[in-house]
Structure 1
Amino acid sequence: MAMTTPSGVRGDGRTEAPERDAHAGDGPPMTHRQIMEALSGLLLGMFVAILSSTIVTNALPRIIGDLGGGQSAYTWVVTAALLSMTATTPLWGKLADLFSKKLLVQIALLIYVAGSVVAGLAQSTEMLIACRVVQGIGVGGLTALSQVIMAAMISPRERGRYSGYLGASFALATVGGPLLGGVITDTDWLGWRWCFYVGVPFALIALVLLQKTLKLPVVRREVRIDWAGAVLISAAVSLLLVWVTFAGDRYAWASWQTYAMVGGALALGAGFLFAEGRASDPIIPLRLFRNRTIALSSAASLFVGVAMFAGTVFFSQYFQLARGLSPTMSGVMTIPMIAGLVLSSTLSGQIITRTGRWKSWLVGGGALVTAGLGLLGTIRYDTEYWQVAVAMAVLGLGLGMMMQNLVLCTQNQVSGADLGAASSVVVFFRSLGGAVGVSALGAVLGTRVTHHAENGLAELGPEGARLGQDAPAAGGILDPATLPEPLRTVMEGAYGHGVADIFLYSAPFALVALVVTVFIKEVALKR
Structure 2
Amino acid sequence: MLGLFLAALDQTVVGTALPRIVTDLHGNDIYTWAFTAYLLTATISGPIYGKISDLFGRRPVLLFAVVVFLVGSLLSGLSREMLQLVGSRALQGLGAGALFPIALAVIGDMYDPSERGKYQGLVGAVFGLSSLIGPAIGGVITDTIGWQWIFFVNLPVGAIVFAVIWRTLPSVRPSATAPRIDYLGASVLVAALVPILIGLTNKQFGSWTDPSVGGLIGAGLVIAAVLVWVESRSVDPIIPLALFRNRSFTISVIAMFMASMAFFTPIVFLPRWFQVVGGASATQSGYQILALLGGLIISATLSGQLVARTGRYRELALGAPVVLAIGLFLLSNLRADTPLPLLWSWMFVTGVGVGPIFSIFTLVVQGAVAPRQIGTATSSLTLFQQIGGSVGLAVAGTVFGSRLAEELPRQLAAASVPSQIVDALPRSGVAMQQLTGVGNLGQAILASAPASARAQLEPFVPAIVDAIHRAFSLATASTFVFGIVGAVVAVVVVLFLREAPAKVLVQELSGEEAA
Which TM class, normalised by the smaller chain length?
0.7 to 0.9
CA contact under 8 A between 2:199 and 2:214: conserved in structure 1? no
> Which deviations, in whole Å up to 9, do the C-alpha atoms of 1:461-508 show, x marking residues without a partner?
257449837997345583323642535545444443333332222221
Of the three residues 54, 57, 61, the one matched with 2:12 is 54
Is residue 481 of structure 1 aligned with residue 437 of structure 2?
A: no
Query: What TM-score results when the alignment is normalised by the length of structure 2?
Result: 0.84
Structure 1 stretch displaced more, 140-149 or 84-93: 84-93
CA contact under 8 A between 1:364 and 1:401: conserved in structure 2? no
Q: Which residue of 2 aligns with 1:285?
A: 240
Of the three residues 470, 473, 476, the one matched with 1:496 is 473
* 2-structure distance, mates of 1:54, 1:146: 19
> For the structure 1 residues 399 and 57, does the alpha-carbon distance in structure 2 shift closer, same or farther, using more than 3 Å as the test?
farther
CA contact under 8 A between 2:405 and 2:427: conserved in structure 1? no
CA contact under 8 A between 2:47 and 2:379: conserved in structure 1? yes
> For the structure 1 residues 520 and 79, does the alpha-carbon distance in structure 2 shift closer, same or farther, using more than 3 Å as the test?
farther
Q: Which residue of 2 aligns with 1:200?
A: 155
Q: Which residue of 2 aligns with 1:165?
A: 122
Of the three residues 491, 495, 502, the one matched with 1:518 is 495
SS in structure 2 at match of 1:480: coil
Q: Which residue of 2 aligns with 1:506?
A: 483
Letter in 1 for 2:134: G
Is residue 343 of structure 1 aligned with residue 298 of structure 2?
A: yes
* 2-structure distance, mates of 1:156, 1:272: 32
CA contact under 8 A between 1:310 and 1:438: conserved in structure 2? yes
SS in structure 2 at match of 1:97: helix
Q: Which residue of 2 aligns with 1:118?
A: 75
**Matches of residues 50-449 of structure 1 in structure 2 within 5 Å?**
50-59=8-17, 69=28, 74=32, 77-120=34-77, 128-185=85-142, 187=143, 189-220=144-175, 221-246=177-202, 249-250=205-206, 252-254=207-209, 260-442=215-397, 444-446=399-401, 448-449=403-404
Letter in 2 for 1:314: F
CA contact under 8 A between 1:49 and 1:142: conserved in structure 2? yes
CA contact under 8 A between 2:263 and 2:483: conserved in structure 1? no
* 2-structure distance, mates of 1:78, 1:515: 33
Letter in 2 for 1:230: A
Unpaired runs of 5+ residues, structure 2, are 444-460, 507-515
Unpaired runs of 5+ residues, structure 1, are 1-42
Q: 1:50 Cα deviation (Å)?
A: 1.1
* 2-structure distance, mates of 1:383, 1:152: 47
> For the structure 1 residues 184 and 511, does the alpha-carbon distance in structure 2 shift closer, same or farther, using more than 3 Å as the test?
farther
* Residues matched between the structures, number: 480
Structure 1 stretch displaced more, 416-425 or 494-503: 494-503
CA contact under 8 A between 2:50 and 2:379: conserved in structure 1? yes
> For the structure 1 residues 423 and 259, does the alpha-carbon distance in structure 2 shift closer, same or farther, using more than 3 Å as the test?
closer
CA contact under 8 A between 1:112 and 1:138: conserved in structure 2? yes
Q: 1:56 Cα deviation (Å)?
A: 3.2
* 2-structure distance, mates of 1:292, 1:286: 12
Q: 1:388 Cα deviation (Å)?
A: 1.7
Q: Which residue of 2 aligns with 1:23?
A: none
> Which deviations, in whole Å up to 9, do the C-alpha atoms of 1:67-93 show, x marking residues without a partner?
5648x955x544443332221111011
CA contact under 8 A between 1:90 and 1:428: conserved in structure 2? yes
> For the structure 1 residues 248 and 431, does the alpha-carbon distance in structure 2 shift closer, same or farther, using more than 3 Å as the test?
closer
* 1-structure distance, mates of 2:423, 2:27: 26
SS in structure 2 at match of 1:478: coil
Query: What TM-score results when the alignment is normalised by the length of structure 1?
Result: 0.82
RCO higher in structure (CA 8 A, sep ≥6): 1
Q: Which residue of 2 aligns with 1:44?
A: 2
> For the structure 1 residues 334 and 61, does the alpha-carbon distance in structure 2 shift closer, same or farther, using more than 3 Å as the test?
farther
> For the structure 1 residues 406 and 116, does the alpha-carbon distance in structure 2 shift closer, same or farther, using more than 3 Å as the test?
same
Letter in 2 for 1:158: E
> Which deviations, in whole Å up to 9, do the C-alpha atoms of 1:130-169 show, x marking residues without a partner?
4433332222200010111111111111111222222232
* 2-structure distance, mates of 1:350, 1:375: 28
> For the structure 1 residues 204 and 414, does the alpha-carbon distance in structure 2 shift closer, same or farther, using more than 3 Å as the test?
same
Superposed CA RMSD: 3.0
SS in structure 1 at match of 2:501: coil
> For the structure 1 residues 255 and 462, does the alpha-carbon distance in structure 2 shift closer, same or farther, using more than 3 Å as the test?
closer
Q: 1:519 Cα deviation (Å)?
A: 1.0
Q: 1:312 Cα deviation (Å)?
A: 2.3
Letter in 2 for 1:481: N
> For the structure 1 residues 340 and 475, does the alpha-carbon distance in structure 2 shift closer, same or farther, using more than 3 Å as the test?
same
Q: 1:451 Cα deviation (Å)?
A: 4.7
**Matches of residues 463-478 of structure 1 in structure 2 within 5 Å?**
464-465=421-422, 468=425, 473-475=431-433, 478=437
Q: 1:284 Cα deviation (Å)?
A: 0.6
* 2-structure distance, mates of 1:163, 1:324: 37
CA contact under 8 A between 1:168 and 1:342: conserved in structure 2? yes
> For the structure 1 residues 150 and 470, does the alpha-carbon distance in structure 2 shift closer, same or farther, using more than 3 Å as the test?
closer
